[in-house]
Chain A
């Protein structure tokens, strides 16, 4: 974004030549095409969810609904069958929140403290510790399935919400640590030294001085973790019990459960509902997300 701004600023200074105009038109054309390409699936989902089954079967994919039907939404929410139970996806939607909220909060907090220690309280081997932590970012989900199942069993939290929270925290800490470490790397170490001389201890410095300047990276981390954990399917399907399934698993069950004809409109409505929370997070915090990714530096 900043790139576009700076080019347009310099363009004001000199006379816009014909070539510049052509390039500008080409640029916007490309952007519009790309935007349309990304929006298309969502538009198809939305209009399909508003049609009735008959219209879906006879009409084309892109044709607009003749009349708006919202009953597929209420069915997806409260009465569609996911496997053997037929209560819609709403209970699982709540399950997801019960998993996501604590998992995001805990992994963000742990990542913040890790990052704080690794970049501002360097100890012998802290770089190695960080490198080891980084490896965690590259471990594929599948690799930890079996050992994690065993661990959850030992801990007695297999098939529970706490178990899923635990898995997501463990898996997420590598990423959150990386985020916070990189952000805190730009905070001058002298800040901590000054606070130590002022008489502040480890947690006082963290709480009074470091956390208040961490808003951008907290937002980035929360968005990242929220999206990752909310959208997770594999851990959800592997480690959840019947009552603790997250919405992604329920969505899969809903789509795969059919009596008679396939109700695409219900499938689409359920999929959009399942995606709404992450969408909302982006809409509300997206500004900070971009700012946090690009800025990072604390001035003063």
Chain B
């Protein structure tokens, strides 16, 4: 296992800059997820770590060794590709042992290693098959087996689950997490699926436009997004952004919320809003912080109950999403399915602003960090 340091890495194709100075460093055994919308540079960064693409500037260190100009095969890296990239002419066994063969591992040792990996991934019965004879989930396992067989210092996963159907994706996600716990390997994992990012990562790097927007643990990123983009990207359904006017009550900045009535919501860090009194900011509030009135929360600070008009409800089984409108913005609320909420009716909802965040309306900058 090895640590990985990405030191101010830049990548340019002619005039366009794909990576604009990436700085990430992870400890040995850590599970790092690179997440971001398509075109954000996450795959380019991944290929740069693997050595499949050259970087224009900066350094990449694996196990404290500078590998910036080392060829892919000498970096001791294994990669799982989105398309699995299994060699179509070889059996599963040959696929898994190809990397070992290329590194001149004797046949007897290769066989032992193939057996070990096959048992670990429960694909022993598939060893004689060709990739074309496997299902999507089986191919996925073989692709992982091929990576595991070499016991490299660093594993790279490039959207490995995006070709699987929804159910299998969840299963394989858990498998990967178990595998990481069991083997304690260092993993860099690219995905555009923020749920995968949340569930798998020790740390997440949210990327956009060739820059790391935020690097932190899943909970940090969820609770404390660095800017409007991160806040909107992570979480499903997404965080509500409510344009709100900052008003001063008894010298304390509060947030004005207009539904059928108008109330003022308290904010955990009111001092951060001092300069914005009289102006409009974006209030960020996760759907689960807007619920039906819950008796145990009654009377707590930062909890406000007010009337809202229900536009649409979306029952999801465990919860029901209620779509409503405040300050002329559509917002999602997460309520108990038992709570009566018919479309068009006016109901009471509880706004918990203890974890609310605030953003500048123009720049998307976080105001209360």
Contacts and interface: CB of A to CB of B under 8 A. Distances in A.
B81 A212 contact: no
B79 interface: yes
Interface stretch (B96-104, B120-128, B167-175, B250-258): B96-104
B176 interface: no
Interface in B98-119: 98-99, 102-103
Contact of B88 (A190, A199, A298): A298
A194 to B, nearest CB: 4
Contacts of A196: 52, 72-73
B345 interface: no
B199 to A, nearest CB: 25
B102 A188 contact: no
A196 B78 CA distance: 10
Interface string A262-300: 000000000000000000000000000000000000111
Nearest to B47: A193
Contact of A200 (B47, B78, B102, B132): B102
A193 B99 contact: no
Contacts of B87: 191, 194-195, 208-209
B223 to A, nearest CB: 36
A204 interface: yes
Contacts of A190: 81-83, 85
> Contact residue range for chain A?
10 to 19
Interface string B242-269: 0000000000000000000000000000
Contact of B132 (A191, A195, A204, A300): A300
B79 A213 contact: no
B130 interface: yes
A194 B103 contact: no
B131 A198 contact: no
Contact of B89 (A194, A198, A204, A213): A213
B102 A193 contact: no
Interface range on chain B: under 10, 10 to 19, 20 to 34, or 35 or more?
20 to 34
Contact of B79 (A193, A200, A299, A300): A193
A215 to B, nearest CB: 10
Nearest to B102: A199
Interface string B197-217: 000000000000000000000
A193 B98 contact: no
A208 B94 CA distance: 11
A202 to B, nearest CB: 12
B289 interface: no
A201 to B, nearest CB: 8
A27 B77 CA distance: 60
A125 to B, nearest CB: 14
A197 interface: yes
Contacts of B98: 195, 198, 200, 208
Interface in A162-220: 188, 190-191, 193-200, 204, 208-209, 212-213
B86 A197 contact: no
A195 B52 CA distance: 11
A228 to B, nearest CB: 29
B35 interface: no
A274 B82 CA distance: 52
A276 to B, nearest CB: 34
B50 interface: yes
Most buried by B among A190, A193, A194: A194
A197 B132 contact: no
Nearest to A188: B83
Interface of B: 47, 50, 52, 72-73, 77-79, 81-83, 85-90, 98-99, 102-103, 130-132, 134, 139, 146, 150
Top 8 nearest A-B pairs (CB, nearest first) are A199-B102, A212-B89, A198-B99, A190-B85, A300-B131, A194-B85, A199-B73, A300-B132
15 contacts: A188-B85, A191-B85, A191-B87, A194-B79, A195-B87, A196-B52, A197-B52, A197-B79, A199-B103, A200-B73, A204-B102, A299-B88, A300-B86, A300-B131, A300-B132
